[in-house]
A and B are shown apart, each in its own frame.
Chain A
């Protein structure tokens, strides 16, 4: 064993959970999120966008939708799994599914969540709640909507809850920046600057929402909802809404 390897194994500050964090936050991880623009494609056809617009777009999404809705659902699903409480998990699944107003977005979230679950089941050693949740989906008692599946898999992988929230919001941010790059709104270095500059917003949004009780879940972004509806109806488009 090399000296560096010995140092790594002796360092108690890094462990297998860190590898799971890297794996889940990698855009290479297969969940199909690269195919969604979350309405950005429709907005880009309305007006010419700059990197500042992209930052504002993502910030609004994080503060008004992803934080209070998805992050809250994730945190509660995580806790339900840690308590092996399938009943509360199914209630969270039901709430989040019905809060997704746009059909195409709802369907995409269910598809990504199911594939995420299937993928993690293939390698996780802690399969009990993963399997229970998957069986509920197969039996029509749950949908597998993405933020809930994300809470379930991060709990199974023993990723700390706040870090699970960070991965989720970071992944969302990267997926929109990726869409902006492919739409020609940003160039590659601008994209990385947008992600870096949004760091404090991501951190703050996770801290504000990850421990929010499920009864206080909310979202409010009517302009974004209208954009998503417009995108859903577009004839010529590159992205799923």
Chain B
């Protein structure tokens, strides 16, 4: 019998927008509440992100076993790997579902890409797209599939907004318009500010308020 499906959250965004750091903030919060998470990290060129998360979250903090952080190479095609042909990612997800039934959630980080990234619904049940303020406050207004279609838009690095001339109120207003009212959260992934709100959305919209599974 095929194993039960574990809820999956896809996290996409441009290179350097803070995808990895957002995961490094989300996992400890979920872990403190008893939720067990597996991580798949799609890297464009190196294994750096997967190795960093493995070291920070598994080896140093012991929040999950090291084998639950899995790196996937994408042949230079980060959006293909999560949308047009998610075969390799789906295989890894299915392996996790088969070996680690106790997991409550699987986080899938896409490789850094452009604003047209979206996740195949076959791969991710919920899609978080993350941008940062350094592109200027015009970013949400310029649209793009990722910004418009994601379930939750996260705008990162709000602490440096004054230094790059980005007005967060303009970003909030434009995001609301282009996303037809779907939620946007402002965060500083470096300090964790705002990340609790991201976790609240995951618990409400992906885990549907369920308690952590029993088991390991």
Contact = CB atoms under 8 A, between A and B. Distances in A.
A119 B86 CA distance: 12
B85 to A, nearest CB: 4
Nearest to A175: B75
B75 A179 contact: yes
Interface of A: 28, 30-32, 34-37, 108, 110-112, 114-115, 138, 179, 182, 235-240
B47 interface: yes
Given A37-B75, A138-B1, A182-B76, A238 B44 contact: yes
B56 interface: no
Given A31-B85, A235-B46, A236-B46, 18 more contacts: A28-B85, A30-B84, A30-B86, A32-B85, A32-B88, A32-B91, A34-B80, A35-B72, A35-B73, A111-B87, A114-B91, A138-B1, A182-B75, A235-B47, A237-B47, A237-B73, A238-B73, A238-B76
Contacts of B76: 182, 238-239
B90 interface: yes
Contacts of B57: none
Contacts of A110: 91
Q: Which 7 A-B pairs have the closest CB atoms?
A: A111-B91, A35-B75, A32-B87, A115-B87, A30-B85, A32-B88, A236-B46
A35 B44 contact: no
Nearest to A179: B75
26 contacts: A28-B85, A30-B85, A30-B86, A31-B85, A32-B85, A32-B87, A32-B88, A34-B77, A34-B85, A35-B72, A35-B75, A36-B75, A108-B88, A111-B91, A114-B91, A114-B94, A138-B2, A235-B46, A236-B45, A236-B48, A237-B47, A238-B73, A238-B75, A238-B76, A240-B72, A240-B88
B75 A34 contact: yes
B160 interface: no
B5 to A, nearest CB: 14
Interface residues of B, number: 24
Contacts of A114: 91, 94
Given A238-B75, A239-B75, A35 B88 contact: yes
Contacts of B86: 30
Nearest to B90: A115
B51 to A, nearest CB: 9
A114 B15 CA distance: 31
B110 to A, nearest CB: 13
A41 to B, nearest CB: 9
A39 to B, nearest CB: 13
A180 to B, nearest CB: 12
Contacts of A112: 87-88, 91
